[in-house]
């Protein structure tokens, strides 16, 4: 966990890829998020989800609430794969990738913008305070 925490702390942004499991996100992801607190703060988080008919969007909605509590910025747009087992060929290649590629380009552009803005804000914060420590 120490090495992972250090790696997350060095990152300026995150892309969370998650399945939807019983209308939520998996326990392993919950454990990771709950085990590491500070590295998420004041950083943007984007989501790629997959699952059945909802494409994992119910898991993403829950994750948006969790990351808000960690003072992270959830990117509004996301990439989702509904009925995922029908979206990829037997070699794992995405069938009809145009829509997913367009969505991912939007997500990555937003993620880059927020990563730059929040990195600049973190660097300008000379007090060393974090958002949750504001008076």
- Can you read off the two tokens belonging to residue 25? 């996100």
Running along the chain, 135 residues long, what does each successive block of 10 average in pLDDT? 93 97 95 93 97 96 97 96 95 95 98 96 72 54
Task: Please give the biggest Cα pair distance in the chain.
Answer: 55
pLDDT of 39 = 94
| CB atoms near residue 84 (< 10 Å) | 16
Q: What is the pLDDT of residues 54-90, one digit of tens each?
A: 999 999 999 999 999 999 999 999 999 999 999 999 9
- Can you read off the two tokens belonging to residue 98? 């145009």
Domain boundaries, the chain: 11-34+41-89+97-117
16: β partners: 47
Q: State how far the Cα of 45 lies from the Cα of 65, in Å rounded to an integer.
A: 12
pLDDT of 51 = 96
Helices 27-35 and 57-69: crossing angle in degrees, nearest 10, is: 10
* CATH superfamily label, 11-34+41-89+97-117: Flavodoxin domain (3.40.50.360)
- Can you read off the two tokens belonging to residue 72? 């992270």
pLDDT of 135 = 46
pTM: 0.89
| CB atoms near residue 122 (< 10 Å) | 14
pLDDT of 132 = 55
Least Cα distance to 2 among 38, 45, 42, 47 occurs for 38
- Can you read off the two tokens belonging to residue 134? 């504001």
């Amino acid at each position: 966990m120490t090495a992972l925490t250090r790696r997350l702390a060095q990152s300026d942004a995150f892309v969370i890829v998650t399945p939807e499991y019983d209308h939520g996100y998996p326990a392993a992801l919950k454990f990771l998020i709950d085990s590491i607190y500070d590295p998420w703060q004041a950083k943007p988080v984007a989501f790629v989800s997959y699952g059945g008919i909802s494409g994992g969007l119910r898991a993403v909605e829950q994750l948006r609430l969790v990351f808000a509590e960690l003072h992270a910025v959830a990117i509004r747009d996301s990439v989702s794969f509904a009925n995922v087992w029908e979206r990829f060929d037997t070699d794992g290649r995405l069938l009809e990738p145009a829509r997913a590629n367009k969505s991912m380009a939007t997500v990555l552009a937003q993620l880059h913008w927020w990563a730059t803005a929040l990195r600049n804000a973190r660097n300008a914060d000379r007090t060393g305070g974090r958002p949750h420590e504001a008076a």
